[in-house]
Amino acid sequence: MTASMGSAHAQEAPGDLDPRIVKLVASISEERFGAILKKLENFETRNSLSSTDSPARGIGAARQWIFDEMKGYSPKLQVSFDSHRVPKQGRITRDVEIRNVMAILPGRSARRIYISGHYDTVARPGGQGASNAGGAPRDPDAPPPAPADPTAPVDNRAPGVNDDGSGTALTIELARVFSQSGLEFDATLVFMCHVAEEQGLIGARLHAQQAAAAKIPIEAVFNNDIVGNDRGGNGIVDGASIRVYAEGPEDSPSRALARFIQRWGGRYVPSHRVRPMARPDRFGRGGDHSAYNQLGFTAVGFRESRENFTRQHDERDTFEGISLPYLAQNARVNAAAAATLALAPPPPVVVSERGQPMISRAPSGYDANLKWSASPNAVAYRIFWREAWGPDWQHDLLVGNVTGTVLPNMQIDDYVFGVAAVDAAGHESFVSAYVSPPRASTQITEQQ
Ligand SMILES: [Zn+2]
């Protein structure tokens, strides 16, 4: 086919990419990132225990600016403080009111997709570089040394431009491009700037606890923490890849989300490599996605590929340590995957009401017989499979608007199977895999 015929043909049959998502991804602005990060840096500290009475410095000024900034983007964005009174405990050295800043972009359905970062910062003597050089990974839950006056605000300089100004800027910028895109999403998008991450994921834990108690259907959390620097402290530079940490087991929903980000981020942003990591996070380090994981939600953590530990948790975490082109690429991957997921139907349910995977060897006894529950607005389903030893899907097959299919002579014991829901425009959900539930041990009594 010639190029001219190709373009005529392309108008009749849509390709894998949705031009509206291409446009949304292209509207992410490096310039906006520069402006947001400089603003965040100018608060000098955003420590969750810093002063709240200054209009220009500290956590109080920062959260109000983030609130006003997102509010200004679109009347469609519902911006609020998610506030909590936290008594002194652990690394919270005094009673304090903390506020996540959240912007909700309502979709047609209640299912929610979160894009998040944490806007609070911390700087300690020696920073993360000193912690790492100490040998064994630091215990992230160890209490800090007691301050001279535990009731005083913690107002030392902590610019936190990369940790986690980068994830915060990414969240704020995506609130802008999604709310101004003119797109109607099926899922409700939540742009969440968490607080008190540095005291033990406190803002994320409190929000996730409330969401779990209220049975809010959070389908996925894209958490971004330290995503703006492409230059490792050891001199190795990598501005062309991003790590995505996802807890196990191997076919957990969080792993399915990581594979989804690799598949769709990679299609819309082919110049950027998504590197899924089959573990909850880096050694001895934590992030807000884990607060959601621990309450049963699907959540992954984006992390830059090469960290500079000497800048983290240190006064040196300044704007000079940021690569705007790199941050923008990471934002494009987030945007492409989140937009696809938010436009797609919800993932199909592949377990029975009793929690059993709906897979069998019928009818011959040697076939792969897959069944699932229909997803609203799906017009087709894509079956995925891979050898039972291996992390990545190897094959896929589009089937019609059905709730089951048979792959003859495919031994179900030798492959992992999954199914995704696809809408009329080709938007695909993430894959629901058929997994054997773990079997409880049965106690056998011996004859005495
Ligand atoms: Zn962080």
d(CA 80, CA 57): 21
Whose CA is closest to 322, among 26, 36, 24?
36
Distance 275 CA to ligand 1 centre (A): 19
Identify the pLDDT of residue 182.
97
Ligand 1 centroid, distance to 391 Cα (angstroms): 28
How far is the centre of ligand 1, averaged over its atoms, from the C-alpha of 244 (Å)? Answer: 15
User: From ligand 1's centre to the CA of 373, what distance in Å?
Assistant: 39
Distance 117 CA to ligand 1 centre (A): 8
**346 Cβ neighbours under 8 A, 6+ residues apart:** 109, 111, 186, 187, 219, 375, 376, 421, 429
3-state SS, residue 447: coil
Distance 413 CA to ligand 1 centre (A): 41
Q: Check residue 14 and give its pLDDT.
A: 61
Please report the pLDDT score of residue 7 as a whole number: 43
Q: Which residue has the tokens 């709730």?
A: 403
Measure 358 CA to ligand 1 centroid, in angstroms: 40
**Ligand 1 centroid distance, CA of 49 (Å):** 16
Q: Label the pairing between strands 368-371 and 359-360.
A: antiparallel
Greatest pairwise CA separation for the chain in angstroms: 85
State in Å: Cα 163 to ligand 1 middle.
5
321 φ, ψ to 5°?
-85, 10
Q: How far is the CA of 170 from the centre of ligand 1 (A)?
A: 13
Partnered with residue 420 across adjacent β-strands are 382
Ligand 1 centroid to Cα of residue 415, in Å, is: 38
- Output the CA 110–ligand 1 centroid distance in Å: 29
Give CA–CA dist 237/247, Å, rounded. Answer: 27
Supply the pLDDT for residue 437.
85
- Residues linked to residue 230 through DSSP beta bridges, in sequence order: none
- 3-state SS, residue 234: coil
Q: How many CA atoms lie within 13 A of 425 on its CB side?
A: 15
HEC letters along 327-354: HHHHHHHHHHHHHHHHHCCCCCECECCC
Instruction: Report CA(166)–ligand 1 centroid distance (Å).
Output: 9
Residue 136 CA to ligand 1 centre (angstroms):
20
Q: How far is ligand 1, taken at its centre, from the CA of residue 338, in Å?
A: 21
CA 120 to ligand 1 center in whole angstroms? 8
Is there a contact between 245 and 223 (Cβ–Cβ < 8 Å)? no
Instruction: Give the distance (Å) from ligand 1 centre to CA of residue 315.
Output: 14
What is the DSSP code (8-state) at residue 146? Answer: P
Please state, in angstroms and rounded to a whole number, the distance separating the CA atoms of residues 240 and 276: 14
Q: Report CA(201)–ligand 1 centroid distance (Å).
A: 9
Span from the CA of 118 to the centroid of ligand 1 (angstroms): 7
Q: Could you tell me the distance, in angstroms and rounded to a whole number, from the CA of residue 226 to the centre of ligand 1?
A: 6
pLDDT at 76: 98
Alpha carbon distance 46, 426 (integer Å): 42
Q: In angstroms, what is the span from residue 232 Cα to ligand 1's centroid? A: 16
Residue-level pLDDT, tens digit, the chain, 448 residues: 333 444 444 445 567 899 999 999 999 999 999 999 999 999 999 999 999 999 999 999 999 999 999 999 999 999 999 999 999 999 999 999 999 999 999 999 999 999 999 999 999 887 777 777 765 455 555 555 555 687 889 999 999 999 999 999 999 999 999 999 999 999 999 999 999 999 999 999 999 999 999 999 999 999 999 999 999 999 999 999 999 999 999 999 999 999 999 999 999 999 999 999 999 999 999 999 999 999 999 999 999 999 999 999 999 999 999 999 999 999 999 999 999 999 999 999 999 999 999 999 999 999 999 999 999 999 999 999 999 999 999 999 999 999 999 999 999 999 999 999 999 999 999 999 999 888 889 999 999 8
Cα–ligand 1 centroid distance for 68 (angstroms): 23
The predicted pLDDT at position 9 comes to 44
Q: What is the 311 CA–ligand 1 centroid distance (Å)? A: 12
CA of 236 to the centre of ligand 1 (A): 21
What is residue 73's predicted lDDT score, i.e. its pLDDT?
98
Pull the structure tokens for residue 205.
Answer: 């834990």
